[in-house]
Amino acid sequence: MKFEKIHSDPHSAARCGVLHTGHGDIRTPIFMPVGTVGSVKGVYHKDLKEDVKAEIILGNTYHLYLRPGLDILRAAGGLHKFENWDRPILTDSGGFQVFSLSPIRKLTPEGCTFQSHIDGSRHTFTPENNVDTQRIIGADICMALDECCPGDADHSYARKSLNLTKGWLERYAKRFRETEPLYGYEQTFFPIVQGCVYPDLRKEAVDHAVQFDADGYAIGGLAVGEPTEKMYEMLELVCPLLPEDRPRYLMGVGTPANILEGIARGVDMFDCVMPTRNGRNGMLFTWNGIMNMRNEKWKDDFSPLDPAGTSFVDRTYSKAYLRHLFVSGEMFAGMIASEHNLAFYLDLVRQARVHIEAGDFASWKDAAIANITRRL
């Protein structure tokens, strides 16, 4: 995998580039739709490609390991073939899911033992078997196993958590470099920079991670309970310390405004369940602001969902129609809203690239955030 930086914004740390992978090129900055169990909820792959214009999607190691399981994925020839997706895939290691979903978990230097949220069965992830699992899944970009430290953790807990993540990273990197891809294309892995909201721990995490000379680096443990200002502070600290010629991935973030502020601080890659999860609950993100599609005010509004939008659903369906579907309990409502929101997020990062290339990203970003954060 190779990253080419093409342009930098003269008034911020924003940059744009191209990430080359075995399943195609990814133009950065990029938003990656979340396809946790091998599916981006409610959106056909055809629409992901043609309307949303997704260049990469996610899968999740924890969920895929539990169901359908590694035997099925190996027999299918990996996740790309299993879900019939021929563009790049990134997999999270499952560390966040162990943190957030498992009612009983035990973390030790050896690994993490957890209970399945499906049937309560016990399982263990070690750095070694986590590599093996992601080899079988077959993602183009794999995440190293880490502990996702809570955003409100004290320094003592964050220190212990970082020590655990560092030890796991050393073993993960060793195993990854001792093994080979299974399906005829290259895979790579990103270390995850943890350290909660403590500058000394974040700096230590970066110093440790860059020793592995990875093809890219992830920034984890943000947007997990800490104030937004602290997240931006950590990005301003971490991004300049990471290699300039490697992509930077901010995990699990976030709102459209978070994404633009992250780009301004030097982040290249983002993912979040917000566009689909909030879409299924009736929230639409648009260039004019945020809409609750269950509101009475849209009952007889026959204008497009987003007059400035470029997607098929924006050109096809009205606000009144989508509101009708939501109040009627139709599943089609969530499908339309999810596709719209994903298309908006991808349009957002495309426009960011345009303005980075034009050299006016910083001023455009401030004006865009004022518009897209309004409640309509």
Tokens found for residue 176: 């990854």
Residue with tokens 């596709």: 339
Q: Which of 271, 306, 314, 347 is labelled catalytic?
A: 271
| CA 119, chain centre distance (Å) | 27
Angle subtended at Cα 333 by Cα 372 and Cα 348, rounded to the nearest 5 degrees: 25
Angle subtended at Cα 149 by Cα 145 and Cα 151, rounded to the nearest 5 degrees: 145
Angle subtended at Cα 187 by Cα 256 and Cα 76, rounded to the nearest 5 degrees: 95
92 tagged catalytic = yes
C-alpha distances in angstroms, 37 versus 40, 63, 73, 131? 8, 6, 12, 18
Q: How far apart are the first and last CA of the chain?
A: 42
Q: Which of 9, 47, 51, 92 is labelled catalytic?
A: 92
Q: Residue 176: which region, alpha, beta or left (left: phi > 0; alpha: psi -120 to 50)?
A: alpha
β-pair type (15-21, 105-108):
unpaired
Length of the chain: 376
CA distance 289 to 46: 27
Tokens found for residue 190: 């990103």
Q: Residue 111: which region, alpha, beta or left (left: phi > 0; alpha: psi -120 to 50)?
A: left
The DSSP-derived string for 317-349 is -BHHHHHHHHHTT-HHHHHHHHHHHHHHHHHHH
Instruction: Give the catalytic positions in this structure.
Output: 92, 271
